Structure 1
Amino acid sequence: MKLLYTTLLNFYDELEDEESKEGRSYCVSCMKDTIKDLLKVSLLEAEWFRKGFVPPFEERLNSELAPAGSISFYAATYFVGMGAAGNKEFEWLKSDPKIVRAAYIIGRLQCDIVSHEDEQKRGHVASTVECCMKEYDISKEETVEKFKRIMSDGWKDLNKECMKPTAVSSKVLITLVNSARVIEILYKEKDGVTCPEALKDYITKLIIHPIPI
């Protein structure tokens, strides 16, 4: 952990030096804040796992929504590489916009639907699936259907946020929409992160046999 932490700090220092030359050192500060939030959630989950605690569904889901867990971290990272993303965009991200929360909820639930059983076999904190099943005393199948309805609402929120005026450009918004799209592909049927062979067909179509544009 110390090695990983030191490596991460060194990376941020190098990135901050590079971005400072362009007057954008503030973006690295935002990245640091989002990963701090993400690590706090990880520590909370580790504590729940150690105690064998299964939190209520809403608490489990919302534990990563202040701000919206990994999506905020990924978004901050994307923004660093986007010439169109400046201080205004990072301040907007810090405000916990609805589109970020929607993208997170879609990703979190889709991931848990597919990966929760294998995670429990390996030894993992209760996912949103286990929490929902326990709290509402429903089956896995009923839980999945409930999640699909929640995710459907999340997609509606994504679309609504893209259609109304915002403080940031459509280029920034589509980055968040694409985050949800990627998660949907990664966890469509199998855990594409743990079992990358599930993505073979997608990668082949994208790189080896792309559709001409």
Structure 2
Amino acid sequence: MLDWQKMVIDIAKCYHAEVKWRDEHYVPTSVEEHLQISMRSSACMQIISLVFISMGDITTRVVLEWGFTYPKIIKCVCIIGRIGNDMVSHEREQLSEHMASTVQTCTKEHGITVVEANEKLKVIIEEAWMDIVHECLHREHPMALLEKATDLARTMDFMYKREDAYTLSFSLKETLTSLYVNFI
């Protein structure tokens, strides 16, 4: 079976697990348990893999196989995206049936408020950024690949800095206008 087929099967299994959590009103016992599924369902790994493939000759079979193992840098990108999304969409998601977010999981795990949970989750995001920097400094893989992973982390950080700009994409209008219409 090809690696990309395994990747599609993996994300489908993660989506299935999340639907099961939602239907059973299950809240994972720890943020770590939550991230075992939700970081993989964030699709960040799939995005990075497609970016790697689009880079041409620099992306060898060995590089793709490495990418499909969820190495530390890719896990960190997924964590930044997942937790960032959960923090800014938590209130909105409370209005409908949904699976427990990392915010809810953190409040349950530590017996704390949403505000306190967000502070704990920000620490996890900062640790993920430190790990990304560490991976880039040690350059065990071509810097061009590490830069692409870092760029996706930056994008996730931007998309979820103040609100869920992925879901509420109209909030990007001003930024996109400044980049492509009113550029200097």
* TM-score normalized by the length of structure 1: 0.80
Amino acid in structure 1 at the alignment position of 2:160: Y
Q: Distance in 2 between matches of 1:165 and 1:98?
A: 13
1:145 equivalent in structure 2: 119
What SS is found at the alignment partner of 1:56?
coil
1:132 equivalent in structure 2: 106
Check the 8 A contact 2:42/2:82 in 1, yes or no: no
Check the 8 A contact 1:46/1:125 in 2, yes or no: yes
2:173 equivalent in structure 1: 200
Instruction: Give the 3 Å change call, closer, same or farther, for CA 68–85 of structure 1 in structure 2.
Output: farther
Residue 195 of structure 1 and its aligned partner are, at CA, apart by 1.2
1:100 equivalent in structure 2: 74
Check the 8 A contact 1:34/1:76 in 2, yes or no: no
Check the 8 A contact 1:192/1:198 in 2, yes or no: yes
Question: How do 1:2-41 and structure 2 match up within 5 A?
Answer: 29-41=2-14
Aligned pairs, how many? Answer: 182
Q: Distance in 2 between matches of 1:173 and 1:33?
A: 23
Instruction: Give the 3 Å change call, closer, same or farther, for CA 64–112 of structure 1 in structure 2.
Output: closer
2:86 paired residue among 83, 107, 112: 112
Q: Distance in 2 between matches of 1:46 and 1:134?
A: 20
1:191 equivalent in structure 2: 164
User: Any gaps of 5 or more consecutive residues in structure 2?
Assistant: none
Q: Distance in 2 between matches of 1:138 and 1:31?
A: 40
Residue 69 of structure 1 and its aligned partner are, at CA, apart by 5.1
* TM-score normalized by the length of structure 2: 0.91
Q: Over aligned residue pairs, what C-alpha RMSD do you find?
A: 1.7
Amino acid in structure 2 at the alignment position of 1:99: I
RCO higher in structure (CA 8 A, sep ≥6): 2
User: Any gaps of 5 or more consecutive residues in structure 1?
Assistant: 1-25
Could you list the per-position Cα deviations for residues 1-47 of structure 1 after superposition, in whole angstroms to 9, with x for gaps in the alignment? xxxxxxxxxxxxxxxxxxxxxxxxx9xx3222212111111100111
What SS is found at the alignment partner of 1:121?
coil
What SS is found at the alignment partner of 1:63?
helix
1:81 equivalent in structure 2: 54
Q: Distance in 1 between matches of 2:158 and 2:4?
A: 25
Amino acid in structure 2 at the alignment position of 1:122: S
Amino acid in structure 2 at the alignment position of 1:172: L
Residue 123 of structure 1 and its aligned partner are, at CA, apart by 1.4
Q: Distance in 2 between matches of 1:197 and 1:95?
A: 35
Residue 80 of structure 1 and its aligned partner are, at CA, apart by 2.1
Segments of 4+ moved more than 4 angstroms: none
Check the 8 A contact 2:106/2:117 in 1, yes or no: yes
Q: Distance in 2 between matches of 1:146 and 1:160?
A: 21
Residue 68 of structure 1 and its aligned partner are, at CA, apart by 7.7
Check the 8 A contact 1:30/1:76 in 2, yes or no: no
What SS is found at the alignment partner of 2:94?
helix
Check the 8 A contact 2:42/2:81 in 1, yes or no: no
* Larger Rg over CA atoms: 1
Q: Distance in 2 between matches of 1:195 and 1:147?
A: 22
2:96 equivalent in structure 1: 122
